[in-house]
Amino acid sequence: MAGDDEGGIRVPSEAQDAVGDPADGSEDGRRGAGGAPRRMGRRRTLRRRLVGILIGLVVAFVVVALVGLPLYAFPAVDEPQRADAVIVLGPPHGAGIRTGEELMAAGYADTLAVSVDAYGIDSGIALDACHEDRPYRVVCVHPDPFTTEGEAQWVRRLADANGWTSVIVVTYPYHVTRARYLFDRCGVPGAMFVSNGDDPGLARLARMYVYQSAAFVKAWIDPGC
């Protein structure tokens, strides 16, 4: 019969050209035969890259957390000894004031100096220790600037004015390391650092990891004092 080829069915040349011959090396053939494997290969490569990035982020997080533990969670503190003054850094409410007054009651110093805010619950007006009678001298001052470096400069001026040679500095555990660094840099004499015993909880401690780290970078960039 006309159109038969040895009993088979002839495929029109136009249809064959549209499908493409995988063996002829043409672009259409490559799309038909190798397109799907290449797409699967690209997906696998992308998945591997994403997994690698995720693993890298997890490792970086673990490293940062481990490095931060001795800096913020378990800082090096000093065994307090007799000093000229006990310094409570801001914000002074709660654990800071309590620890400062306990040190004063134990006879560690004759002067309690408190870094207070200009207003609010951390102001000198709001704190009982700043306006009630105590059997020791109390100094409540709003440092300017109201920052750790500003507090270090304030304590240095107090030490110079009063002839102090040693102070006990009370602050939050996650703040001890940075405060020690700035007080040393500002030349505060004989500074001993103790934690106020505050338990910040995991959420606040995580925030302090970020905040204190950023503040450390700022302190390193800005020479100060």
The strand pairing partners of 191, in sequence order, are 167
What's the DSSP call for residue 12?
P
Residue 81 dihedral angles phi and psi, to the nearest 5° = -130, 170
Question: Residue 119 has which token pair?
Answer: 């207003």
Q: What is the pLDDT of residues 71-118, one digit of tens each?
A: 888 899 999 999 999 999 998 878 999 999 999 999 999 999 999 999
DSSP secondary structure, 21-77, as one string: -GGGT-HHHHHHHHHHHHHHHHHHHHHHHHHHHHHHHHHHHHHHHHHHIIIIIS---
- Domain positions in the chain are 24-73, 85-203+216-221
CATH topology of domain 85-203+216-221: Rossmann fold (3.40.50)
Q: What is the pLDDT of residues 163-187, one digit of tens each?
A: 999 999 999 999 999 999 999 999 9
Note the pTM of the prediction, 2 decimals.
Answer: 0.72
Find tokens 């801001």 and name the residue: 90
